[in-house]
Structure 1
Amino acid sequence: MASTDEVNLTAPHTPHERAIEAFNHVLREIKLAVIALRRNWDIHEPRMWSRAAGLSDVKLTTFTIEDDLVEIRTGAVSYGTIIFGKIRIPAVNDELGEGFIHVRIHDPPNKGEGDVMFHSIFTMEGKRDADGHPHLWRAIQVKAEPLEFFNE
C-alpha cells in the first residue's frame, strides 16, 4: 500500500468527467460505508459522527456525485491511480458550516471504471490539543479541512 511519501498528489481541483464516472461506480459502496461507520463509531466514540446526530441514514446519504463531489486529488502509483474526493453532505450545515466526507478510491490501470474500488473514508481520530489530550473526533469535515493523503 502506498504511503504519503510515495505518492505525489495533484493540487486540489474540481472533478473531471473521469473522476465523476469513477466515484459513481462506487457510490453505493460509499453510502453503505458511511452508514456502517457511523453505527460502529456511535458505539465506541459518538463524537466522531456528532455532526450527523439526529439524521436518518437516508438523509445522511442523500448526496450525488454530480452535485456534491466538489474537489479531487489524484496520485499515480504502480498499481493504478489513487483518487481522493471531497463530497458534500447536503443534510449537514451546522454552526461549523457545510459538512463534507473525504473518500479514497482506487482506479487500477487499463479497464475503465469497471474495476474502480472504494477504499475508505477519512476520520480524524482524537486530534490532540496543545497539552496532548485528545479533543476532536470528526468524520464529517469542515469545508476548510484540506483534502490530504490518508491510508485508513
Structure 2
Amino acid sequence: MATGEQINFNEPHPPKENGIEAFNIILPTIKSEIVKSRRHWDKHEPRMWSRVSHLSDDELVAFTIEDDLVEIRSAATSYGTIILGKIRVPSVNDEEGGGYIHVRIHDPPNRGTEDVIFHSLFTDEGNPDADGKPTTWKAVQNRETPLEFFHE
C-alpha cells in the first residue's frame, strides 16, 4: 500500500463529471460508513463526532454528491486511482462555520467506475501530549482543513 509521500496527488479542485460519478456509485456506502463511524466513536471517544451530536443520523447524511462534494484530489497508483473528497454536511452551521467530511475512495484500473470502493473517513486524532496520546478528536472538518492523504 502506498503512503502519502509516495503518491503524487493533483491539486484540490472542484469535482468533474467522473469524480461525481465515482462518489455517486458508492454514496450509500459512504453514508452508512459515516453513521457506523459515529456510533463506534460515540462508544469510545464521543468528542470525535461531537460537532454533530445534535443531528440525527438522517440529518448528518442529508447530502448529495452533486450539491455537496465541493473538492477532490486524485492520484494514480499501480493498483488504481486514489480519490479524496471533501463533502459538505449541509446541516452543520455552527461557530466554526460549515462542516465537511473527508472521504477516501479507490478506483481499481481497467474497469471504469463500476468497481469503485469505499476506503475510509478522515478522523483526526491530533495534538499529541507529552505521552503521545491525542488531545483533540475531529471527524467533521472546517472548510479550511486541507484535503490530504490519510490512512484511517
TM over 0.5: yes
- 1:16-95 aligned within 5 A: 16-95=16-95
- What CA distance in whole angstroms lies between the structure 2 residues aligned with 1:115 and 1:68? 22
Residue 6 and residue 132 in structure 1: after superposition, are their counterparts in 2 closer, same or farther (change >3 A)? Answer: closer
- Cα deviations by residue, 1:28-71 (Å, 9 ceiling, x for unpaired): 00000000000010011000000111211000000000000000
Distance 1:67 1:39, change over 3 A: same
Distance 2:75 2:31 in 1: 23
SS of 2:7's equivalent in the other structure is coil
Deviation at 1:128, TM superposition (A): 2.9
Runs of at least 5 residues in structure 1 that lack an aligned partner in the other structure: none
SS of 2:51's partner is: helix
CA distance in 2, matches of 1:127, 1:49: 17
| Cα distance, 1:5 vs structure 2 | 1.5
After superposition, what is the alpha-carbon deviation per residue over 1:62-102, rounded to whole angstroms, capped at 9, x for unaligned?
00000000000001000110000000000111110000000
User: What SS is found at the alignment partner of 1:106?
Assistant: strand
Task: Give me the TM-score of the superposition, normalised by structure 1.
Answer: 0.95
CA distance in 2, matches of 1:131, 1:5: 26
The alignment of Structure 1 onto Structure 2 pairs a total of residues equal to 152
> Moved runs in structure 1, 4+ residues, more than 6 A?
129-133
Match of 1:13 in 2: 13
TM-score (norm 2): 0.95
> 2: distance between equivalents of 1:82 and 1:116?
10
Alpha-carbon distance between aligned partners in 2 of 1:98 and 1:135, rounded to the nearest angstrom: 23
Displacement of 1:135: 2.5
